[in-house]
Chain A
Amino acid sequence: MVSPRNVPPFADSETRKRNFEEVNKGFDAETAVSEASRCLQCKNPRCRQGCPVGVNIPAFVNEIKNRNFEKAREIITADNNLPSICGRVCPQETQCESQCVLSRLGSVAIGALERFAGDYVLGGKSVALPEKLGLKAAVVGAGPAGLSAAADLLKYGFDVTVYEAFHIAGGVLSYGIPEFRLPKRIVRAEIDSLKAMGAEIVTNAVIGKSYTLDDLKDKFDYIFLGTGAGLPVFMNIPGEGLNGVSSANEFLTRVNLMKAMLPDSITPVQRGKNVVVVGAGNVAMDAARTAMRLGADKVTVVYRRSRDEMPARKEEIEHAEEEGIRFMLLTSPVEVLGKDKVEGLKVIKMRLTEPDEKNRRRPVPIENSEFEIECDQVIMALGTSPNPILKRSAPDLETDAKGVIKVDENGLTSVDRVYAGGDAATGAATVILAMSAGKRAAAAIYAAATKK
């Protein structure tokens, strides 16, 4: 008989919806051991296939069961540089946990265990670095892709300089994902350990403006581009220029990076009373829950497909609902209403078509089904595309029509000695994929450097 899945404690929904404390409190050691003991240690572990980077899940879970917490962490970090972060933000229910043989009884809580092991030595123990190769690598962008590439390049013996456009490193981990889901001290610990390993992190450096890619090629032996996909998409509907319409990126950056939620912050942010968020991914959930925490009376998520298609992590959707966020599904905005400020949103009802060959159901508008909803703030969380700055300064860097950098399986771009990975090379994706792209490119760079 397998015991039921352990659930970590969550902050009370009525209190937490007005503060920025972390919602999921994580396992304590006893619960972690008890949860780890539920694992059947399958001979052919399917969870591992569900993990985009193939972490040796049964092995680390077994170490937790045996209370070798540090060892558990080491096993994870062989494949994943950011266990504390991925344990918190990976969509485990569609990855490792979905493959667990216990899934019908309640999969092993692999994400929560990963987080526990990661936090056990926050930021990781210092590692002995090999002898220097005498080669210099530049990493552009300090998001998960860049941080992970930088860490591995250091471990291979490169001298590493990281250039970051913002005044703080971390990428989306710092400016996008809110404190209540990913406390910034976790992100800082990763950055600090990178610095302790000897990385030079240069903030306020926009590559393509301060230095061009050619400048970096002159100064460095190898370059990794982890510039993300930060350019927000709007809908191109009338009224989007009105005051009170913003991208989720603007809204979240003002709060997360500029701390606009604090009463004495100098950075302003709109605190709507009746807020509509358009979209249903993690970004939309984060924006909706942040709006609630800034004091909204009512927050509504408007999404053109149905519940089954909502791309956000399941836990975030559940938490949003507990916090009183409403969902208006199969509905799509057609116009933002208002004179010079947002006063409402005109929307249209949608239906899903029959599944096509790829088993995808498209949303199509239902004629004459428009109606209006009242609101004083509209936040667009419709996705992002890669930032054009770097590309504009480097014409021979090949990209697709959307600006996504073209790379081969090692992350090599069309430009000699220049690699890329993460959202910049895939379009908006996930932390774990960005992390692994950085790791893969670092290995490829090392291989190329030592072959010569």
Chain B
Amino acid sequence: MYKIVRKKQLAENVNEYVIEAPLAALRAEPGQFVILRVDSEGERVPFTIADYDPDKGTVTILVQTVGATTELLSRLDAGDSVADFVGPLGNPTDLTKYDKVLLVGGGIGGAVIHPQAKLLNKIGKPADVVLGARTKSLLLYMDEMSRYAARLYPMTDDGSYGEKGFVTDAVAQLIKEHAYDAVLAVGPLPMMQAVAEVTRPAAIKTIVSMNSVMVDGTGMCGCCRVTVGGERKYACVDGPEFDGHLINFKEARMRQGFYREQEKEHYCRIRGEIKNG
């Protein structure tokens, strides 16, 4: 069992959990993820490592409630435990070799870029950060980001905070004004695809984080496979971060929706909207 040390609601339907998991915290690095099961009958679901503390043996994850498992998780509080928690999985992404980095986070993607922003700040190469969300209350990690970023550009779809518009609007503007060595974009697939299209003409190295459906997270099932530059890669062991200009997004978007119908049913059942049977 893995104890929830702290839980904090960051926005509607978004919770931050600090979980006691020494084995996962020990060697965690930015870009990696964990897989957890809420209870002994649970599904294995992946979450990005948003922060980690090897000394305290804790890992922080940010969870958006979107379906059955995340709903069950949202009902747990500090002091409760989850049945299984394994990590760190996937490969870290090392951005420290670049001098000028642009980080782009859409929605829950703020979780993924948070440890990168923190690390780049620590080594004295603070990144520019674009954070996007539908509305102000969904902008995640604003305080932390304003501390770590060289410049922070919040964007909301409804203009309730920062600029009104999509993250791509900010990215298009920024790459005209500044010379970036690399862009890391994390968020929903359509957003990452759009960012990659914006940076493609300028040939700026663009890394995206593939949130494929996963089971084991160790390269054993192949269900997370994505096509990168015509080659088949497993998001869990070869990624999760890949060159955004080489990803076959069309296939990735199609694959992500595969279990949607069944997932929806599980979600409704858990919320008591459907009876078993």
Task: Evaluate contact between B86 and A232: CB separation under 8 angstroms.
Answer: no
Task: Evaluate contact between A246 and B223: CB separation under 8 angstroms.
Answer: yes
- B271 contacts across to A, CB distance below 8 A: none
**Is B173 in contact with chain A by the CB < 8 A criterion?**
no
Task: Evaluate contact between B215 and A266: CB separation under 8 angstroms.
Answer: no
Task: Evaluate contact between A241 and B37: CB separation under 8 angstroms.
Answer: no
Produce 1/0 per residue, A100-135, CB < 8 A to B. Answer: 000000000000000000000000000000000000
- Complex-state Cα separation, A14 to B133, whole angstroms: 55
- Complex-state Cα separation, A242 to B263, whole angstroms: 19
Produce 1/0 per residue, A248-269, CB < 8 A to B. Answer: 0110011000110001111111
Tell me the chain B residues, 245-277 only, with Cβ under 8 Å from chain A. 248, 251, 254-255, 257-259, 262-263, 266, 269-270, 276-277
Contact of B222 among A204, A211, A234, A258 (CB under 8 A): A234
**Is A206 in contact with chain B by the CB < 8 A criterion?**
yes
Known A259-B41, A264-B276, A268-B266: A206·B86 in contact at CB below 8 Å: yes
Tell me the chain A residues, 221-250 only, with Cβ under 8 Å from chain B. 230-232, 234, 236, 240-244, 246-247, 249-250
Produce 1/0 per residue, B26-46, CB < 8 A to A. Answer: 110000000001000111100
Task: Evaluate contact between A258 and B44: CB separation under 8 angstroms.
Answer: yes
- A244 contacts across to B, CB distance below 8 A: 258
- A269 contacts across to B, CB distance below 8 A: 262
Task: Evaluate contact between B215 and A254: CB separation under 8 angstroms.
Answer: yes
A-B contact count (CB 8 A): 115
Task: Evaluate contact between B26 and A241: CB separation under 8 angstroms.
Answer: no
- Complex-state Cα separation, A165 to B237, whole angstroms: 13
Task: Evaluate contact between B262 and A268: CB separation under 8 angstroms.
Answer: yes
Known A211-B26, A234-B232: A253·B69 in contact at CB below 8 Å: no
**Is A3 in contact with chain B by the CB < 8 A criterion?**
no
**Is B157 in contact with chain A by the CB < 8 A criterion?**
no
- A253 contacts across to B, CB distance below 8 A: 215-216, 220-221
Produce 1/0 per residue, B135-171, CB < 8 A to A. Answer: 0000000000000000000000000000000000000
Task: Evaluate contact between A265 and B41: CB separation under 8 angstroms.
Answer: yes
A379 CB to nearest B CB, Å: 11
- Complex-state Cα separation, A247 to B225, whole angstroms: 11
Task: Evaluate contact between B255 and A243: CB separation under 8 angstroms.
Answer: yes
Task: Evaluate contact between B216 and A166: CB separation under 8 angstroms.
Answer: yes
A201 CB to nearest B CB, Å: 13
- Complex-state Cα separation, A124 to B132, whole angstroms: 60
- B270 contacts across to A, CB distance below 8 A: 266
Residues of A within 8 A of B (CB-CB), count: 42
**Is A210 in contact with chain B by the CB < 8 A criterion?**
yes
**Is A30 in contact with chain B by the CB < 8 A criterion?**
no
Contact of A167 among B37, B232, B255, B262 (CB under 8 A): B37
Task: Evaluate contact between A249 and B220: CB separation under 8 angstroms.
Answer: yes
**Is B219 in contact with chain A by the CB < 8 A criterion?**
yes
Task: Evaluate contact between A258 and B215: CB separation under 8 angstroms.
Answer: yes
**Is A388 in contact with chain B by the CB < 8 A criterion?**
yes
- Complex-state Cα separation, A212 to B266, whole angstroms: 37
Task: Evaluate contact between B218 and A268: CB separation under 8 angstroms.
Answer: no
**Is B84 in contact with chain A by the CB < 8 A criterion?**
yes
**Is B23 in contact with chain A by the CB < 8 A criterion?**
yes
B265 CB to nearest A CB, Å: 9
- Complex-state Cα separation, A241 to B258, whole angstroms: 11
Task: Evaluate contact between A249 and B221: CB separation under 8 angstroms.
Answer: yes
A165 closest partner in B (C-beta): B218
**Is B85 in contact with chain A by the CB < 8 A criterion?**
yes
- Complex-state Cα separation, A204 to B110, whole angstroms: 26
**Is A389 in contact with chain B by the CB < 8 A criterion?**
yes
Known A253-B215, A253-B216: A210·B24 in contact at CB below 8 Å: yes
Known A167-B84, A204-B84, A259-B41: A231·B220 in contact at CB below 8 Å: yes
Tell me the chain B residues, 116-144 only, with Cβ under 8 Å from chain A. none
- Complex-state Cα separation, A244 to B69, whole angstroms: 23
Task: Evaluate contact between B237 and A205: CB separation under 8 angstroms.
Answer: no
Interface centre among B26, B86, B248, B266 (most CB of A within 10 A): B86
Task: Evaluate contact between A230 and B219: CB separation under 8 angstroms.
Answer: yes
Contact of A247 among B41, B85, B221, B257 (CB under 8 A): B221
- B263 contacts across to A, CB distance below 8 A: 268
Task: Evaluate contact between A232 and B220: CB separation under 8 angstroms.
Answer: yes
Known A234-B232, A258-B43: A241·B225 in contact at CB below 8 Å: yes
**Is A25 in contact with chain B by the CB < 8 A criterion?**
no
Interface centre among B42, B84, B218, B276 (most CB of A within 10 A): B218
**Is A209 in contact with chain B by the CB < 8 A criterion?**
yes
A325 CB to nearest B CB, Å: 23
Tell me the chain B residues, 215-238 only, with Cβ under 8 Å from chain A. 215-216, 218-223, 225, 227, 232, 237
- B88 contacts across to A, CB distance below 8 A: 209-210
Task: Evaluate contact between B41 and A210: CB separation under 8 angstroms.
Answer: no
- B184 contacts across to A, CB distance below 8 A: none
Task: Evaluate contact between A204 and B232: CB separation under 8 angstroms.
Answer: no
**Is A387 in contact with chain B by the CB < 8 A criterion?**
yes
- A209 contacts across to B, CB distance below 8 A: 27, 87-89
Known A167-B37, A204-B84, A209-B88: A231·B219 in contact at CB below 8 Å: yes
- Complex-state Cα separation, A204 to B218, whole angstroms: 11
Tell me the chain A residues, 383-423 only, with Cβ under 8 Å from chain B. 387-389
Produce 1/0 per residue, A174-205, CB < 8 A to B. Answer: 00000000000000000000000000001111
Residues in A lying within 8 Å of B, measured CB to CB: 165-167, 202-206, 209-212, 230-232, 234, 236, 240-244, 246-247, 249-250, 253-254, 258-259, 263-270, 340, 387-389
Q: A230-B219, A266-B41, A266-B43 are in contact. List 14 more A-B contacts (CB 8 A).
A: A167-B86, A205-B23, A211-B26, A234-B225, A236-B232, A243-B255, A246-B223, A247-B223, A250-B223, A266-B68, A268-B263, A340-B254, A387-B219, A388-B237
List, sorted by A's number, 14 A–B pairs whose CB atoms are closer than 8 Å.
A165-B216, A167-B44, A209-B89, A210-B88, A240-B232, A242-B254, A246-B222, A259-B41, A263-B276, A264-B269, A266-B41, A266-B43, A387-B237, A389-B218
